[in-house]
């Protein structure tokens, strides 16, 4: 049995339509075994329970609604969904993305080659033809493995884990503002389990729209990166140096060719690294 956990914070009817796109994609999987889909509702204000319980794909997907409103954040929703899942294998995807038809089959097959936790690449072209990025594109597969780190970086939006391992290791750390999936992969590896990375892009990732949305997404990412340096020193990711950070911030204010969302995202990451670096004492002054 396989359980697919979909964290959801749906704020509008339009956002709910994006969830339906993902549910349609899950209904089109070429996986031959049985599976259930758990929508973990992280305090959505648009009546998501009624939508899921009366959904046209409810029987086909073994669709279940789970209240995950106890704390804000996708990490909490994923943990609540995983806790109530019945599958021996847990898969995770995001409510506003689109999984390829072979996503489930290929991740499970890869996991069964001897891994306990695996992730795949994602791509940012399919869902963003009218909202493209010019610089901050989803990195190619090789950029997900920072130099000096013996374990791949895990992406929660395309992740498979043995349920027993997920629960034994404590699941995602909900105190991280972002990058809790990266921390989870490194922690699982540190506890002696095998972590794998499938370079095939099996998920189409959806970008935000506008400067403010990019900024809101970027700042917690930057704070999460700063905390990773405190919790996992010498991890291989670039260290945070104040002169370089200030130089890059100034450069972004005048850089040409960026979309508003890109500029907001990149500035948010830098600002998050600044505040997070000060808090966790991982900011280098020179």
Q: What is the predicted pLDDT for the residue at 140?
A: 61
Closest CA to 82 of 174, 171, 156: 171
pLDDT computed for residue 151 by the predictor: 72
Give me the residue spans of the domains in the chain. Answer: 2-204, 211-284
* Cα–Cα separations (whole angstroms), residue 68 to 44, 124, 147: 10, 28, 36
- What's the CATH number of domain 2-204, 1.10.3470.10, 1.20.120.340, 3.90.550.10, 3.40.50.300? 3.90.550.10
CA–CA dist 29, 223 (Å, integer): 36
| CA 75 to mean position of chain CA atoms | 9
* CA torsion through residues 215, 225, 220, 280, sign: negative
pLDDT tens by residue, the chain, 286 residues? 999 999 999 999 999 999 999 999 999 999 999 999 999 999 999 889 999 999 999 999 999 999 999 999 999 999 999 999 999 999 999 999 999 999 999 999 999 999 999 999 999 999 999 998 888 777 665 444 444 556 788 999 999 999 999 999 999 999 999 999 999 999 999 999 999 999 899 999 999 999 999 999 999 999 999 999 999 988 888 899 999 999 999 999 999 889 999 999 999 999 999 999 999 999 999 9
Look at residue 135 in the predicted model and tell me its pLDDT: 81
What residues does 158 pair with on adjacent strands?
93
Q: What is the C-alpha to C-alpha distance for residues 229 and 152, in angstroms, rounded to an integer?
A: 16
CA atoms within 13 A on the CB side of 230: 15
What pTM was estimated for this model as a whole?
0.93
Contact 14, 46 (CB under 8 A): no
């Amino acid at each position: 049995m396989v359980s697919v956990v979909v964290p959801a914070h749906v704020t509008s009817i339009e956002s709910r339509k994006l969830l339906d796109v993902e549910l349609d994609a899950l209904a089109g999987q070429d996986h031959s075994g049985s599976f259930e889909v758990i929508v973990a509702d992280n305090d959505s204000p648009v009546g998501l329970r009624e939508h899921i319980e009366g959904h046209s794909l409810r029987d086909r997907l073994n669709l279940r609604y789970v209240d995950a409103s106890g704390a804000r954040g996708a990490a909490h929703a994923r943990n609540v969904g995983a806790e109530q899942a019945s599958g021996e294998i847990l898969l995770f995807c995001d409510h506003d993305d689109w999984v390829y038809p072979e996503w489930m089959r290929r991740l499970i097959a890869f996991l069964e080659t001897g891994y306990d936790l695996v992730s795949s690449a994602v791509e940012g072209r399919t869902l963003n033809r009218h909202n493209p990025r010019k610089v901050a594109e989803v990195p190619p597969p090789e950029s997900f493995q920072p130099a000096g780190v013996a374990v791949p970086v895990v992406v929660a939006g395309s992740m498979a884990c043995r349920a027993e391992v997920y629960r034994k290791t404590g699941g995602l750390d909900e105190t991280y503002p972002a990058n809790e999936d990266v921390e989870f992969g490194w922690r699982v590896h540190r506890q002696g389990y095998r972590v794998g990375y499938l370079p095939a892009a099996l998920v189409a990732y959806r970008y935000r729209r506008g400067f403010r949305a990019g900024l809101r997404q970027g700042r917690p990412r930057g704070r999460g990166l700063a905390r990773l340096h405190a919790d996992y020193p010498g991890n291989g990711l670039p260290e945070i140096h104040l002169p370089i950070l200030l130089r890059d911030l100034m450069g972004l204010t005048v850089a040409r060719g960026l979309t508003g969302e890109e500029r907001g995202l990149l500035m948010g990451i830098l600002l998050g690294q600044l505040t997070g670096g000060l808090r966790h004492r991982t900011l280098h002054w020179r």
